[in-house]
Structure 1
Amino acid sequence: MRLETTGQKAFKICQLTDIHLSDTPLNEASQKSLTAIDKMLQANDFDLIMITGDLLWGKQASKPAETLGALYDVLNRYPVPVAITYGNHDAEGNLDRAGLRQLEAGLAHPADKHHAAVVDDRESYTLEVTRDGKLAHVLYVWDSGDYSHWPADEQYAAIEPEQIEWFTRLPYARTQAQTDLGFLHIPLPEYTQAGQAILTGEQGEAVCSPVTNSGLFYTLLKSQNVKALFAGHDHDNNFTANYRGIGLNYGNPTGYNSYGTLPRGARVISLLPDGYETEILNF
Structure 2
Amino acid sequence: MRLTLTSFALLVVSSFGQPLNDFDEASRDYTLHAVNGVDNYGQTQSSFTVLQIPDMHYTGNPKYPCNGPPFNPCWESNMTDFINELLDQVKPNIVVFTGDQVENTGIRHTAEEVKKAIDTYSTPVAQRQIPWAMVFGNHDEGSSFTRTQMLNYIASRPYAYSQSGPTNVDGKGNYELQVQTSNGKTSFRMYFLDTGVKGSISKKQNDYIRQLAASHKNENALAVMFYHIPVPEYILGPSETITYGHQGEKVSNGPQSGLMDTIVQMGDVKATFVGHDHYNDYCIERRGVQLCYGGGVGYGAAYGSSSLPRSARVIQWKRNSTDEVLTTWKQAKGDFSIEEYLLFKRGV
Same fold (TM over 0.5): yes
Q: Which residue in the other structure is 2:99 paired with? A: 53
Normalization by structure 2: what TM-score? 0.73
Contact 1:3-1:130 at 8 Å conserved across structures: yes
Q: Whose radius of gyration is greater, 1 or 2? A: 2
- Where in structure 2 are the equivalents of 1:1-283 lying within 5 Å? 2-5=31-34, 6=36, 8-24=45-61, 26-28=63-65, 29-59=75-105, 60=107, 62=109, 63-111=113-161, 113=163, 116-118=165-167, 119-132=169-182, 133-146=184-197, 156-170=198-212, 172-174=215-217, 178-193=221-236, 196-210=240-254, 212-257=255-300, 258-261=302-305, 262-273=308-319, 274-283=324-333
Deviation at 1:39, TM superposition (A): 2.2
Encode CA deviations 1:167-222: one digit per residue, 9 max, x unaligned: 12225333795421000000111111479342311101111112x31111011112
81-90 or 8-17, which moves further after superposition?
Answer: 8-17
Structure 2 unaligned runs (5+)?
1-29, 37-43, 66-74, 334-348
Encode CA deviations 1:11-55: one digit per residue, 9 max, x unaligned: 100000100112435525211101110122123311110010000
Amino acid in structure 1 at the alignment position of 2:247? Q
Residues 39 and 93 of structure 1: CA distance in aligned 2, closer, same or farther (over 3 Å): farther
77-86 or 97-106, which moves further after superposition?
Answer: 97-106
Distance 1:267 1:136 in 2: 21
The share of aligned pairs that are identical, in percent, is: 28
Aligned-partner SS, 2:235: helix
Contact 2:273-2:294 at 8 Å conserved across structures: yes
Encode CA deviations 1:240-272: one digit per residue, 9 max, x unaligned: 111121000000211112213231121000012
Distance 1:93 1:11 in 2: 37
Structure 1 runs, 4 residues or longer, greater than 6 Å off: none
Contact 1:14-1:48 at 8 Å conserved across structures: yes
Residues 194 and 281 of structure 1: CA distance in aligned 2, closer, same or farther (over 3 Å): farther
Aligned-partner SS, 1:249: strand
Residues 203 and 44 of structure 1: CA distance in aligned 2, closer, same or farther (over 3 Å): same
Contact 1:49-1:82 at 8 Å conserved across structures: yes
Residues 194 and 181 of structure 1: CA distance in aligned 2, closer, same or farther (over 3 Å): farther
Normalization by structure 1: what TM-score? 0.88
Residues 277 and 61 of structure 1: CA distance in aligned 2, closer, same or farther (over 3 Å): farther
Distance 1:23 1:129 in 2: 32
Distance 1:93 1:24 in 2: 19
Structure 1 unaligned runs (5+)?
147-155
99-108 or 262-271, which moves further after superposition?
Answer: 99-108
Contact 2:174-2:193 at 8 Å conserved across structures: yes
Deviation at 1:275, TM superposition (A): 2.7
Distance 2:155 2:205 in 1: 24
Whichever structure has more strand as a proportion of its residues is 1
Deviation at 1:107, TM superposition (A): 2.4
Q: Which residue in the other structure is 2:22 paired with? A: none
Encode CA deviations 1:134-156: one digit per residue, 9 max, x unaligned: 1112211001111xxxxxxxxx2
